[in-house]
Amino acid sequence: MTSQARGLSDANLFDIRGPMQINYSASSIKGVPLLTYKDAVLNVNFENEDITRLATPGGGELVTVTLQRVEDAFVRNLTLVVPLVRLGRGDTVEFETLVVETLDRSQAFVGTPGPAGALQSYLVHQVRGSAQAVDF
């Protein structure tokens, strides 16, 4: 019996709470994915090709956006681990997941032969969220 036959759908709208607020919609009224990120300093919106989505073997996905790009210095990316959530229409399911911030200094301009040492560093946040299946 498929999930549709049981009246279940895969969640497509995720609200994350933690040291930051993230709203991720796998689809939208525009027909493209949307992501909003807010913390004490940044409040930014992403859509479509600004969002990189990578399916995981278990059915979830890794959703990545670039929060900051400082030319010749670093790039700060954020990756949200989105679990597979199945639920009935109109229901909300709570879940826990991870958000990984990556600070990448591999493109830093420091002259030949380039930067040395560990060029990426990671900050991992355990966060709580809620998921819904909505029609757009």
Give the model confidence (pLDDT) of 38-97 as tens digits: 999 999 999 999 999 999 998 899 999 999 998 888 899 999 999 999 999 889 999 999
Could you give the dihedral angle defined by the CA atoms of residues 40, 15, 68 and 66, in that order, rounded to the nearest 10 degrees?
A: 170
Confidence class for position 1, pLDDT limits 50, 70, 90: very low
- At 2 the pLDDT is 44
- At 3 the pLDDT is 44
Q: Are 85 and 131 in contact (CB under 8 A)?
A: yes
- Closest-CA residue to 61 (of 34, 80, 45): 80
The rounded mean pLDDT for the chain is: 90
- At 73 the pLDDT is 84
Domains of the chain: 8-132 (2.40.128)
